[in-house]
Amino acid sequence: MKPIFLIGFMGSGKSSVGKRLSHNLETNFIDTDNFIEIKNNKNIPDIFKKEGEDKFRYYEASVLKEVSESANANDVIATGGGIVETVENYATMSQKGYIIYLRTNLEEIYKRLKRDTGRPLWDNNNVGREALYKRRIIMYETWSDYIVDTGDKSIDEVVKQIKRIIAN
């Protein structure tokens, strides 16, 4: 039994699945984005705007390390979609737990993030979205121990599948 790291593109359901899964397993849920916002007392768009993406990635990697060090068996950690942008994050996660990729196709992501306003790399980035998605999915696949498709599934179905995976 190890902690569970959820990775995947923005809008793939890492936070909603993670919350439900940890509730179900009666373990802790940690959302790295949330942790970054609390620690810095600023929301993510503000961090991107005032300090830039590189600084955000630095915060993200340190929070991930901190969270990993104290994570217990079956704790669930939802990461930001760009967790794969920092190579050292792979070591942090793989040494400690399972990495599960919540895979969602781009069409579904578009639907889910239609009215989104809190994701600097998605909002106002019509041109770059597809390229970002294509580049990232290769990394999610390479980094993950297991892949769970989320597109046509309810949160409960995804949770059930993850529970089956970790039980084996």
Residues that bind ligand S3P (CB under 6 A): 10, 14, 33, 44, 80-82, 119-121
State how beta strands 76-78 and 146-149 pair.
Answer: unpaired
CA atoms 27, 31, 36, 39: torsion sign: negative
The nearer residue to ligand S3P, 47 or 162, going by C-beta atoms, is 47
Minimum distance of ligand S3P from residue 23's CB (angstroms): 18
The nearer residue to ligand S3P, 74 or 79, going by C-beta atoms, is 79
Radius of gyration of the chain (CA): 15
The nearer residue to ligand S3P, 123 or 156, going by C-beta atoms, is 123
The nearer residue to ligand S3P, 44 or 159, going by C-beta atoms, is 44
For residues 9 and 125, give the distance between their C-alpha atoms in angstroms, rounded to a whole number: 15
For residues 34 and 120, give the distance between their C-alpha atoms in angstroms, rounded to a whole number: 15
Minimum distance of ligand S3P from residue 32's CB (angstroms): 7
Residues 6 or more apart whose CB falls under 8 angstroms from that of 27 comprise: 72, 73, 74, 75, 76
Minimum distance of ligand S3P from residue 168's CB (angstroms): 27
Minimum distance of ligand S3P from residue 116's CB (angstroms): 8
